Amino acid sequence: MSEAVTTTQTAELGDWIALLKPRVMTLVVFTGLIGLLIAPGHLHTVLAFTAVLCIAVAAGACGAINMWYDRDIDAMMRRTRNRPIPAGRIEPGAALGFGVTLAAGSVIVMGLAVNLAAASALMLSILFYVFVYTMWLKRRTPQNIVIGGAAGAFPPVIGWVAVTGSLDLLPLILFAIVFFWTPPHFWSLALFANADYQRAGIPMLPVVAGAKETRRQIVIYTLLLVPLSLLPCAIGFCGVVYGLAALVLGGGFIVSVLRVATDRQDTSGISLSNDAPARTAFKYSILYLFALFAALAVDRLTG
């Protein structure tokens, strides 16, 4: 009897954690942490941990609210239909309350414990993700990922502002790097999840413009991203360690998206390899951003 109760409780806890989109949260927290680590000045360890925790909680809150709002289309998509809300394991109202509570709490704690500038940036990122991306752009335009990518680009800015209390050129460059990284990252996913998006009626670029145009756009954004990633060196903030890492990682990214672009296709632009290059490019894009930001921290902290 007790084992059955424990299993049920574990399953319920797992569902609440799933609402937070922990895999997405990991990347958000990491870029926020790097922004905090490389910022000039000093923040007490406890306050630094609090700032990163607030970023993590806010990211999770956005995930929960997103799942509440998208529960109808999640139920139509094979990739998302087993999420806690469409699967009936968590009530929509409870998920919304959970997300709103976490969002408000993260902003309040950031403001009280760290500074108001960081709290304001955190609140702006939450509002942008929920209202601009989730509720406005996602179901209306194939540019949803391009414009909505700004929401995911906020964390390094928030981390920087948590330490300094102000903006500078470098966090804006980091914002731009994540912003331009988002389309090739997400459109690679959209290529092999195209059937899901068609079924749900979401105007992702492959659905609206076709797979061939999506592949072209992936290459364009990647070619813009790589020189942009070298700007921290150009402004004198970073040295050889980051510069070499950015070149090597960027070269790998370009190679991976060129394989996407040259993937064998039928006359309608559908991949004949089950989008294997797109799947590889999607995975590489995650590694790319982690490694690029890690190199930035290593260069700065050892330089």
Tell me if 301 is assigned to some domain: yes
Last residue within a domain, chosen from 136, 167, 198: 167
CATH number of the domain residue 232 falls in: 1.20.120
pLDDT at 1 over 50: no
- pLDDT, position 2: 43
Q: How far apart are CA 79 and CA 63, in angstroms?
A: 16
Residue in the block written with tokens 């930035």: 296
Mean pLDDT for all residues in the chain: 92
Output 269 or 153, whichever has higher pLDDT.
Answer: 153
Which range of residues forms the domain containing residue 200?
A: 168-303
Same domain, 233 and 185: yes
Q: Give me Rg for the CA atoms of the chain.
A: 20
- 20 and 40 together in one domain: yes
- The answer to whether residues 131 and 50 belong to one domain is yes
The pLDDT of residue 266 is 67
Say what the pTM is: 0.92
Residues 28 and 138 in one domain: yes
Judge whether 8 lies within some domain.
no
Are 55 and 115 within one domain?
Answer: yes
Asked if residue 149 and residue 241 are part of one domain, the reply reads no
Same domain, 121 and 189: no
Does residue 209 belong to any structural domain of this protein? Answer: yes
Mark whether 24 and 107 lie in a shared domain: yes
For residues 18 and 161, membership in a common domain is answered with yes
Could you read off the pLDDT of 30-78 as tens digits, one per residue? 999 999 999 999 999 999 999 999 999 999 999 999 999 999 999 999 9
- 4 Cβ contact partners less than 8 Å away, ≥ 6 residues apart: none
Same-domain status, 163 and 177? no
Q: What is the mean pLDDT of residues 134-151?
A: 92
Distances from the Cα of 84 to the Cα of 56, 75, 96, 266, 293, angstroms: 20, 10, 12, 37, 32
Report pLDDT digits (tens) over 78-105. Answer: 989 999 999 999 999 999 999 999 999 9
Cα→Cα distances 15→64, 85, 86, 274, Å = 11, 9, 12, 31
How many domains is the chain built from?
2
Is residue 236 helix, strand or coil?
Answer: coil
Domain C-terminal end among 167, 188, 221: 167
